[in-house]
Structure 1
Amino acid sequence: MPVHKQSSQRLQQQGLALDTDRQFFRCLRENGPMSRAAISQLTGISRPTISEAAGRLQGQSLVNETKKKTQNKQGRAGILYEINANRGVTLSVALDSQHIQMRLTDLAENIVAEEQFKLAALNGHAIPDYDVEAAHVPSTRIDSSEAFFQKLTTMAEDMVARTKSAVLAIGISIADPVNSETGQVLPLHGAPFPLAHDINFPSLFASMFHCPITIDNDVNWATMAERSQGNAIGEKNFMFFYFGRGIGAGIYINGHLIRGSSGIAGEVGYFKVDGSKNLQDYVVENQLGKALLENRSLYDHPAMDKIIHVISNAGILVNPDLIVIGGPLSRHDAFMKTLKDTIPQRTLMPTRVIASAMPDTAPLCGASAGAHELALASLGLIQHPE
């Protein structure tokens, strides 16, 4: 047989084996522990082929045999397989002007550890805390990128060291515009998180943990979290608006996140709403946070009028089926009621408006999911994400 034909057949066999391994792993991921017979029945792949996949995956320490058994019709005990949670962890990091949030997740998607460190805000462009409890949580002032860098690396190293596990991949969320191609923070004027501007986060974490890294801005990660595990599951066309210390939007159209040519699509906080004044500064100057704390009606509040104007115009431009409102302000009933009552009337087609399922943790949840997908891709268990 010609060498090139043998090579072609070998590649084809390897491709079929890889596809079988991926289907086997996906069954465990979606259904929990399963037997080879159950996986064969679910996938339509022959039992001998499934058994070969089990051997390969066990050989790579990606799956384990459980102590539990299942019985078939003949009364024989069948082995149940599960994902090897101890194969390694993924690290997710969410950074904004007020918090460092970190989470470790094992290969079976269990949260292993989670930590948060509160920063004293330095940015005068940011919307002040409206949550009385959050405002009284002790915080630490960090004035330089160097000090921030030191705190960040110490937290990550200590957290990973306690697990004694290899880091498979890292997902990073930054509350600033990010060029998703290069991973560099784009230092726009008035950006909400200036401490991040001088740090190359992909290089920093790659040098620490020697694993693949994915990075994006916080609102894009929050958008993807809503799509995968929040209130926009199954939606193909929706917008996510974040209202916290900063304002931004995520745009998910025809099943894809829209980032723009430089990764800064959705920066609605920069929309001009009063002469040369942008939405972010207008909301701060008109003390929306104070009105929320005092439980005042927001229907006639000037900042709410500008917010409604921006969301409605964005809805007209993009024409989503759904608008999700996230961030700390979405926890406030008066804020959400005002948006739900007014926005559907101002878009060309009435558009549903709902609150986020995770107002405080969506960026971290999104980065965690992104890190897990990257880890699976690096292990050959799924195709590489876009």
Structure 2
Amino acid sequence: MDSRSLRYVNKKKVLHYIQNNQGQSRSDISKALQISKPTISTIVDELLEEKWIREKESENASSVGGRKPFHIYFNQNAYYLIGVDIGGTSVELAIMNLAGDIKQKASFSTQTNVDHLIEAIVNETKRLIENSKLSSDEIFGMGVGVPGITDVEKGIVIDAPSIRWKNVSLKAQLEEHLPFPVYIDNDVNVAVLGEQWKGHGTTSKNILMITLGTGIGCGIILNGSLYRGSSFAAGEIGYMVTDKKSAEANYVHSFDGYGFLDSHVGGPAISREMQTKLDASGKDTSWTAKKVFQEAISGDETAIETVNESLSHLAFALINVISIINPEKIILGGGISKSIHYFLPNLRSIIKRHIPIHSDIVLTSLENVSLIGAGYLLLKEYDSILKE
């Protein structure tokens, strides 16, 4: 390694140490990293000039007398990240600092802009930056979650049925109009990164994020790293089969390209199944998945039967996943997860009955998990001084 490369490596070490050990002195950093005091002093001066850190004089004098020591802190507001979550219904955007604290949010309808979606994202991004009173120079970059299979290396959306995208060069098209780097990934991968950074995954190295919405997705963290699979399709559990006979029959697909589990556990599937049962009895058929869960909690027998059928498929899917991956935690997110808390004991009971391997099953408690994860995607992928 040449001297320039070594200097950059040491600079990254110092910055990461400061991020994780706030309030240290230059001498403390030198001792901890076993790098000479003159080298540490030079690096700290550079980081101060580049605004990555700030230095604050102690209120108390040194224990051996003399001048008061200075303590060094990571400057989480040195630059800002933009996170984008593209959903089938809406696109959400947020500006956050380097600690993941959201400064401002915006959103717009996906379907009314679907034919010009990239243009709409660019325009809303520029408006968000302007409203935040920031300059483009203060934006470190953008992370984007996409509802489909993405080639993260080439920045291409391979297939996203809900927004009618196939082989869309999203990264290149966004970077053509925005003056900072853009990184993209599947929306559930982005969500599990959010949990890893700020949620249930901060203390676990092996976690799954299962999103329950229009379809069913899964983000996987193995040994602390995001697992994408050989063709970026790891976690596509919407295609998992949880009933052989039903799969061999001509079952109804929720949407073109959706799989068996999507079509039995997703929101449209729950709504459709409830309506089918009620059609037979001649009752009202204007049901949403949320309403089905609400009525099930209130004791409606048809709603209970519908929810239990759906959760049975989910439970057996989780049994299969647990037996292969053996995660410490499974985090449930997405729109349906907001209604599922009442049924968690039953879900856990089914799983426990069929598999002796324990995984803690919890609901996400992190607001804006996908937006935060999109910001963290940038920090994880962008080859910069902040990349671990």
Cα distance in 2 between the residues matched to 1:372 and 1:213: 11
Q: How many residue pairs align between the two structures? A: 345
**Residue 14 of structure 1: CA displacement?**
2.9
1:291 aligns with 2:292: yes
Selected match of 2:92 from 101, 104, 112: 101
Q: Unmatched 5+ residue regions in structure 2?
A: 252-259, 275-288
Partner of 1:244: 213
Moved more, 214-223 or 237-246: 237-246
- SS class of match (1:186): strand
Cα distance in 2 between the residues matched to 1:374 and 1:88: 16
| One-letter amino acid matched to 1:55 | D
| One-letter amino acid matched to 2:24 | M
**Residue 196 of structure 1: CA displacement?**
4.6
CA offsets 1:348-377 (integer angstroms, 9 cap, x no match): 42332222232x5222121111223445x4
**Residue 223 of structure 1: CA displacement?**
1.7
Cα distance in 2 between the residues matched to 1:382 and 1:313: 34
The answer to whether the Cα contact below 8 Å between 2:149 and 2:186 also exists between their aligned partners in 1 is yes
1:88 aligns with 2:79: yes
Moved more, 204-213 or 38-47: 38-47
The answer to whether the Cα contact below 8 Å between 2:118 and 2:170 also exists between their aligned partners in 1 is no
Cα distance in 1 between the residues matched to 2:42 and 2:291: 63
**Residue 168 of structure 1: CA displacement?**
1.8
Partner of 1:142: 112
Identity within the alignment, % = 21
Partner of 1:124: none
1:201 aligns with 2:170: yes
1:336 aligns with 2:327: no
- SS class of match (1:301): helix
1:217 aligns with 2:186: yes
**Residue 70 of structure 1: CA displacement?**
5.6
Selected match of 2:232 from 260, 263, 287: 263
- SS class of match (2:149): coil
**Residue 219 of structure 1: CA displacement?**
0.9
- SS class of match (1:262): coil
The answer to whether the Cα contact below 8 Å between 1:329 and 1:335 also exists between their aligned partners in 2 is no
CA offsets 1:227-281 (integer angstroms, 9 cap, x no match): 2322133323332211123211123333333212221121112224422541222
**Residue 111 of structure 1: CA displacement?**
3.1
Cα distance in 2 between the residues matched to 1:294 and 1:345: 27
Q: Unmatched 5+ residue regions in structure 1?
A: 1-7, 121-140
- SS class of match (1:286): helix
Cα distance in 1 between the residues matched to 2:333 and 2:228: 18
Selected match of 1:22 from 7, 12, 15: 12
Moved more, 226-235 or 110-119: 110-119
The answer to whether the Cα contact below 8 Å between 2:83 and 2:93 also exists between their aligned partners in 1 is yes
**Residue 93 of structure 1: CA displacement?**
0.8
**Residue 213 of structure 1: CA displacement?**
2.2
The answer to whether the Cα contact below 8 Å between 1:169 and 1:374 also exists between their aligned partners in 2 is no
1:169 aligns with 2:141: yes
The answer to whether the Cα contact below 8 Å between 1:145 and 1:196 also exists between their aligned partners in 2 is no
Q: 1:88 to 1:208 in 2, by over 3 A?
A: farther
**Residue 97 of structure 1: CA displacement?**
1.1
| One-letter amino acid matched to 2:156 | Q
**Residue 327 of structure 1: CA displacement?**
1.8
Cα distance in 1 between the residues matched to 2:13 and 2:324: 40
Moved more, 343-352 or 60-69: 60-69
| One-letter amino acid matched to 1:144 | V
1:282 aligns with 2:264: yes
Question: What are the residue-to-residue correspondences of 1:221-236 with 2, within 5 Å?
Answer: 221-236=190-205
CA offsets 1:97-120 (integer angstroms, 9 cap, x no match): 12222122234x263523132537
Q: 1:218 to 1:110 in 2, by over 3 A?
A: closer
Displaced runs of 4+ in structure 1, greater than 6 A? none
1:356 aligns with 2:364: yes
CA offsets 1:195-244 (integer angstroms, 9 cap, x no match): 55475320122112233222111111122222232213332333221112
The answer to whether the Cα contact below 8 Å between 1:88 and 1:165 also exists between their aligned partners in 2 is no
Q: 1:293 to 1:116 in 2, by over 3 A?
A: farther
Selected match of 1:317 from 303, 314, 324: 324
Selected match of 1:346 from 340, 350, 354: 354
**Residue 155 of structure 1: CA displacement?**
0.9
- SS class of match (2:156): coil
**Residue 62 of structure 1: CA displacement?**
3.0
- SS class of match (1:371): helix
- What RMSD over aligned residues (CA atoms) do the two structures have, in Å? 2.8
Cα distance in 2 between the residues matched to 1:335 and 1:204: 43
| One-letter amino acid matched to 2:151 | N
